[in-house]
Structure 1
Amino acid sequence: MYQMFYKVSVSFHKDYLKINGDLIEIGVMVPPVKGKANAEIIKNIAKHLGVPKSHIRIVSGEKSQDKVIEVIS
């Protein structure tokens, strides 16, 4: 089991996911209300990386467009 940390840059009203080294650029269509965008971000990253959603957590930036996530696999 290992863990990786990624910087995440979020855009709204777009739907994409691009990974470049330790930077993930992601677009979500869900509005940032009551954690819905964060849940969508975790779901999309988990699907892209092929890991369960429970293996991803937001370390910092929960209320920011710039976040740091931890991925355990």
Structure 2
Amino acid sequence: MSKRVVESTADGVLLRVAVKPRSRARTFIANIGVESVNLNLKAPAREGKANAELLKRVAKLLKLSTADVILVSGSKSRDKTLLIRGVTADRVLSVLQAVKNNK
């Protein structure tokens, strides 16, 4: 059984992402797939810079504090899982789709 992109849990919403550090692409959201959201990051994958950019940009996108977006797995991988508090799974999906469709 495949994992879903967005999943509700008792602690919040799990968002599965696949990041591309040091990307030259202008768009943040490259693709919304079945198992993960592909995201382009400008920061390099060194010293946690890409992870910090990821958390900051996702929080800004959802209009949340960076403390509400937590990296729960994949700190040294391109495939990551974020725990997002204070928002519903439907809201996360709708915001991601709206941003993807507008850019």
What TM-score range do you get, normalising by the shorter chain? 0.7 to 0.9
Identity among equivalent pairs (%) = 28
1:7 pairs, out of 6, 16, 21, with 16
Q: Distance in 1 between matches of 2:67 and 2:80?
A: 17
More strand by proportion, 1 or 2?
1
Per the normalisation by structure 1, the TM-score is 0.85
Give 5+ residue unaligned stretches, structure 1: none
Structure 1 runs of 4+ aligned residues shifted over 3 Å read: 18-23
Q: Which has the higher contact order (CA 8 A, sep 6+)?
A: 1
Give 5+ residue unaligned stretches, structure 2: 1-10, 87-103
CA RMSD of aligned residues (A): 2.0
Count residues in correspondence.
72
Per the normalisation by structure 2, the TM-score is 0.62
| Higher CA-based Rg | 2
